[in-house]
Amino acid sequence: MNSKYKLYIAFIAFVGLFSSCKKNRNDLAEIENVQKIDTFPHIKPNTQKLKNPSTSFITEKKTTIENFYKKYWERNKVSGSFLVAKNGKIIYEKYAGFANYEKKEAINHDTPIHLASVSKVLTAAAVLELVYAGKLTLDQKVNTILHQFPYEEITVRTLLNHRSGLTNYAYYFDDRTKWNHSNLLKNQDILDLFIKYDAGLDFKTDKKFAYCNTNYAMLALIIEKITGMNYSEAMKKIIFEPLEMDHTFVIDFENDIEKVSQSYKGNYKRYELNHLDQVYGDKNIYSTPRDLLKFDLATSSTDYLTPELSEEIYKGYSYERKGTRNYGLGIRMLEWNDDEKLFYHNGWWHGNTSSYVKLKKENVVIIGLANKYTTMTYKSFYLATLFGDYPLKIEKSDLGG
């Protein structure tokens, strides 16, 4: 072998070694971006000593809430769970109907029900914990996390507040030429097919508000990318386990769909699964009012995140149109001219409807979950007028009596 050939072989080996080292360094950087379980960022329980409401306060409110419940829930034979609490103290709770009507499995305080879009509140909380831990930032471009993400201007914040401009996957995949409806769509499928079909934005990013489930499906992928875990496990580590939400989980369709609370139409016929059911982040968390009360207490603590980051959650981002409705980071709101705000999130998926109402100033939470289709859950936020001076248009009769 001549000297020139030996030199050439040595050069090729060097280039290969350099490329390999470079690749390893990149892989290492990717690994270092993933949190280790022993230092995993997670929400912390509220350890503050909260004053219990007086007996007279509880008695007064309980009577009115009971009348409200009878008028809307009992009269309409709502199947589900209902809870009202102040300072972590349950003032009123009621459970009715069946998780499985065929088997007559009664709903009780330990029965998880599909949260539908109230799942977004929990997904947002997990993202915010990762922000708090320094694993990403609110204004970070999504394509710096999900490297194939084709929309350059979309940030984590514009996903959280529904100002991204992404088109709604539920409508996009109505087109059977893009997706076979006999197959269950997954989160990664949404991104892959948006890329494949060059799906355009509905509007320029951050130009306006448009509620869109795709935003939270992408946030679930971000959670998975940052943590190196699947969404279900990450939610368990970041939110559910630290708060001892023992009856809260992300549904495992392959193993648990027949074990969980079922979803019913108003005529008690069960909803059939469709091609959109397996997408998570925007839905597919099951929980109970008591578990959600633990979550509400934690997010009401003065130790939750930082004051600056918490403020980002509870401010409105969309003022293109006049009105009282707005959206923060994973939470809806009604806001009035006197700076009075009411925070809430509703949900609907198949026969499951849900309502989570958070009165920050009064430290009151109102939770309604139903697994047989009804709109009565959405009337829950009218009970806010029992605890604060909220300018809601409501008749006295709507509060019972």
pLDDT in tens, 172-182: 999 999 999 99
Whole-angstrom Cα distance, residue 335 to residue 315? 10
CB 166 within 8 A of CB 151: yes
Whole-angstrom Cα distance, residue 282 to residue 280? 5
Helix (H) or strand (E) holding 14: helix 3-32
* DSSP-assigned letters across all residues of 370-384: ESB--SGGGGGGGGG
Mean pLDDT of 56-79: 96
CB 156 within 8 A of CB 142: yes
Whole-angstrom Cα distance, residue 12 to residue 67? 82
Q: What are phi and psi of 219, to 5 degrees?
A: -65, -35
CB 84 within 8 A of CB 380: no
CA distances to 164, 283, 350, 361, 395 from 374, in Å: 31, 18, 11, 29, 21
Say yes or no to pLDDT of 20 above 70.
Answer: no
Q: Are residues 19 and 42 both part of a single domain?
A: no
pLDDT in tens, 183-204: 999 999 999 999 999 999 999 9
Whole-angstrom Cα distance, residue 136 to residue 8? 45
Whole-angstrom Cα distance, residue 309 to residue 261? 35
Give me the helices (H) in 252-400, please: 253-256, 289-300, 307-313
Q: Are residues 27 and 42 both part of a single domain?
A: no
Whole-angstrom Cα distance, residue 155 to residue 139? 5
| 5 beta partners | none
Q: Are residues 8 and 69 both part of a single domain?
A: no
Mean pLDDT of 13-38: 40
What CATH number does residue 191 fall under?
A: 3.40.710.10
CA distances to 4, 22, 67, 269, 394 from 345, in Å: 72, 47, 23, 26, 19
Scanning the structure block, which residue is given the tokens 């008749």? Answer: 395
CB 179 within 8 A of CB 185: yes
Q: Are residues 183 and 265 both part of a single domain?
A: yes
Q: Are residues 227 and 325 both part of a single domain?
A: yes
**Predicted pLDDT at 41:** 86
87 SS3 class: coil
Work out the pLDDT band at 309, boundaries 50, 70, 90.
very high
pLDDT in tens, 137-174: 999 999 999 999 999 999 999 999 999 999 999 999 99
pTM of the complete model: 0.89
CA distances to 41, 297, 301, 314 from 48, in Å: 20, 10, 7, 21
Number of folded domains that form the chain: 2
**Predicted pLDDT at 32:** 41
**Predicted pLDDT at 9:** 40
**Phi-psi region at 165: left, alpha or beta (left = phi > 0; alpha = psi -120 to 50):** left
Q: Are residues 81 and 96 both part of a single domain?
A: yes
Q: Which residues of 194-231 are buried (b: 16+ CB within 10 A; e: fewer)?
A: beeeebeebeebbeebbebbbbbbbbbbbbbbbbebeb
* Domain residue limits at 273: 37-399
CB 352 within 8 A of CB 251: no
- Nearest by Cα to 379 from 68, 109, 91, 58: 68
Work out the pLDDT band at 22, boundaries 50, 70, 90.
very low
Q: Are residues 83 and 7 both part of a single domain?
A: no
Q: Are residues 23 and 93 both part of a single domain?
A: no
Percent of the chain with pLDDT over 70: 88
**Predicted pLDDT at 392:** 86
- Highest-pLDDT range among 8-12, 342-346, 385-389: 342-346
Helices and strands, number each (H, E), in the chain: 11, 12
Mean pLDDT of 87-116: 97
Give the dihedral sign, CA 281/253/93/110. negative
Q: Are residues 356 and 231 both part of a single domain?
A: yes
Q: Where is pLDDT greater, at 340 or 230?
A: 230
Q: Are residues 5 and 66 both part of a single domain?
A: no
Say yes or no to pLDDT of 111 above 70.
Answer: yes
∠ Cα 313 317 318 (to 5°)? 145
- Tell me the average pLDDT of the chain: 90
Work out the pLDDT band at 394, boundaries 50, 70, 90.
low
pLDDT in tens, 357-369: 999 999 999 999 9
**Structure token digits, residue 237:** 């580590």
Work out the pLDDT band at 395, boundaries 50, 70, 90.
low
Whole-angstrom Cα distance, residue 370 to residue 99? 10
**Predicted pLDDT at 338:** 74
R_g of the chain, CA atoms, integer Å: 24
Say yes or no to pLDDT of 16 above 80.
Answer: no
* DSSP-assigned letters across all residues of 343-359: EEEEEEETTEEEEEEEE
Contacts of 225 (CB under 8 A, 6+ apart): 145, 146
Mean pLDDT of 26-46: 58
**Predicted pLDDT at 247:** 98
Say yes or no to pLDDT of 27 above 70.
Answer: no
Q: Are residues 224 and 122 both part of a single domain?
A: yes
Q: Are residues 20 and 105 both part of a single domain?
A: no
**Predicted pLDDT at 398:** 52
Mean pLDDT of 330-340: 90
